[in-house]
Amino acid sequence: MHESAKTTPSPTLPRPSGLSGFASDWASDQRTFKNVSWGKAMMWIFLLSDTFIFGCFLLAYMTARMSTTVPWPNPSEVFALHIGGQDVPLILIAIMTFVLISSSGTMAMAVNYGYRRDRRKTAALMLLTALFGATFVGMQAFEWTKLISEGVRPWENPWGAPQFGSTFFMITGFHGTHVTIGVIFLLIIARKVWRGDFDTERRGFFTSRKGNYEIVEITGLYWHFVDLVWVFIFAFFYLW
């Protein structure tokens, strides 16, 4: 009687293959995001979705540029600065690119010191990264002001194709918004690192386990993505 009362274990179901197996993998956090925190996993998912948005914007820009019958403005002329009595092409854009790429280096060092739990150097490098980002946004605001004063609008452009203004303000404005959000986030996390929130487990937003500076790495993922997107904008919009 006791033997018949015993329950037999249910057989292990075979792992699905093909498209069903792919969906099963991505639906299971133990396979797809094994040993990865939810904070980092969610940041990667956000960056993936943001990649599609920027990709659509750049595709729309290329489509508009190649389909218009009106001549497209020459970036070397539109984005030139009058310095020393002559026009210097793309000088402001080159400085903006240098500043933003440099901020990737300081952010990488901040993550490195975060792993070492050196909170003062981590916070200082994050503040320096935020300063680079704020400088970039300031130069972008100057660029916008210059073009608006010269007559560029989302619906018109004195140098040629009217689509130039709409694509320019849409793409650079969306990217500038990302940089601004990143600067704000850097300042918030740098303040928490500086006062030792991750060492004392002080309660508050974005405070993880004691001694865990993973939020610095997550911030770095976002910042490196913003820098990478600018490389594509620089290549497609200013050099093409």
* Local structure of residue 87 (DSSP, 8 states): E
* pTM (predicted TM-score): 0.81
CA distance 115 to 97: 28
> Which range (95-104, 106-115, 190-199) has the least confidence?
190-199
* Local structure of residue 203 (DSSP, 8 states): -
Distance (Å) of CA 164 to CA 70, 87, 118, 228: 10, 21, 47, 23
Domains contained in the chain, CATH given: 37-238 (1.20.120.80)
Per-residue pLDDT of 59-110, as tens digits, reads: 999 999 899 888 888 888 888 888 877 888 889 999 999 999 999 999 999 9
Distance (Å) of CA 7 to CA 2, 3, 11, 12, 13: 10, 9, 12, 15, 18
Percent of the chain with pLDDT over 90: 49
